[in-house]
Structure 1
């Protein structure tokens, strides 16, 4: 009798173990979401790490900013996007070889963006005196704005302080002073970002990369222009 009871218990336990095993096998495995982090060497890029900019996000409303044009007229960002979508491009300065290469190639194809109904506005921290060099060097035929006090860069969250080491390097290799080139005479620069703003004032596209070698392509911009 005892053997029969033990045998019955063994069968029950075996069956239970098999059922538990099935449940475990069929139960979905919960894992922590994998987040791919892009490592950025801010020091190599000349960025002080006390306040790293992130850029405005898609869906954000464009900031309320005023701009002074080269002929000393005051306009607002809204004055532009109320009439048509705008493509806002930030660049570093006439002294930057990467900026010149990009702007030169961009200027050659800019008409395709304008033909699609959008206006292009390029913004930098350099003074208007220096932006004329950028315009001439790259045969630019779209609006260029000098951010005289850095307020536009700050509003778009693209502004950063440049390390002394990087400023010295630019001085040595390119014979240019970032601070002296800038309208406000400060050692600051924008992340060379691109934003598309629709006629309601909403940001519908963003390209933002602290690595100044990475820029928005004409194709990407055209693909994201509001219809």
Structure 2
């Protein structure tokens, strides 16, 4: 089953309220409204694209070790995936799919890192629960996500909904800003130029990991 097929199946169950999901229609309406507003804002079109120079970054992994994009690119091309956090089931399924694709990335000499705004403790949870064997980096305040054009501030009504669902982002991220990254995936060449970019303001839509392979071959 493809990654998007898994995501679509989960979304269908969630919307239908199948156990263990019991969210009322009003919850889905709020989420749909927020996604529609983010799409309408045009922010995804303003994010970095193929051909742009990638920002240089250095971020800690789940164990506190720093990972520098400069050092990683000295070893080969770099795959970078921005995700929302361990609380997001769509993100977890994407991370699992990336893990399955890791041997193919490695075969092309590429490294893979995933970046979220969550704390290192929650990054360890991401790594443990999804059985990941690649670095999970913590981007406090979504500063690196902002440099890629992905950071956005949640509207107040969505922040209130997240709190009611137990997703206290300030506690999860250790940051009071109520910001998240739009999910985005990039392939960066050793020259620092972005070879592939996919950004979608609809967090339920993600590209297949295999979509990155032509950029790695190039």
Q: TM-score, normalised by structure 2?
A: 0.77
Q: Which residue of 1 aligns with 2:57?
A: 65
Partners of 2:86 and 2:67 lie apart in 1 by 24
Q: Give how far 1:71 is off.
A: 4.0
Partners of 1:51 and 1:160 lie apart in 2 by 12
Q: Which residue of 1 aligns with 2:95?
A: 103
Contact 1:127 1:146 in 2 (8 A): yes
Q: CA RMSD in A?
A: 2.3
Which of residues 128, 135, 149 is equivalent to 2:127? 135
Partners of 1:81 and 1:61 lie apart in 2 by 13
Please state if 1:189 is matched with 2:180: yes
Q: TM-score, normalised by structure 1?
A: 0.74
Partners of 2:97 and 2:89 lie apart in 1 by 12
Which of residues 191, 197, 206 is equivalent to 1:200? 191
Residues 167 and 94 of structure 1: CA distance in aligned 2, closer, same or farther (over 3 Å): same
Partners of 1:126 and 1:147 lie apart in 2 by 7
Q: Which residue of 2 aligns with 1:171?
A: 163
Aligned-partner SS, 1:210: coil
Q: Deviations over 1:151-200 (max 9, x none)?
A: 21111111110112212222333x22122211323201001100100111
List structure 1 runs of 4+ shifted beyond 4 angstroms. 45-51
Contact 2:63 2:120 in 1 (8 A): no
Asked which structure has the greater CA Rg, the reply is 1
Of 90-99 and 146-155, deviating more is 146-155
Which of residues 206, 212, 216 is equivalent to 1:221? 212
More helix by share: 2
* Structure 2 residue ranges without an equivalent (≥5): 1-31
* Structure 1 residue ranges without an equivalent (≥5): 1-40
Matched residue count: 186
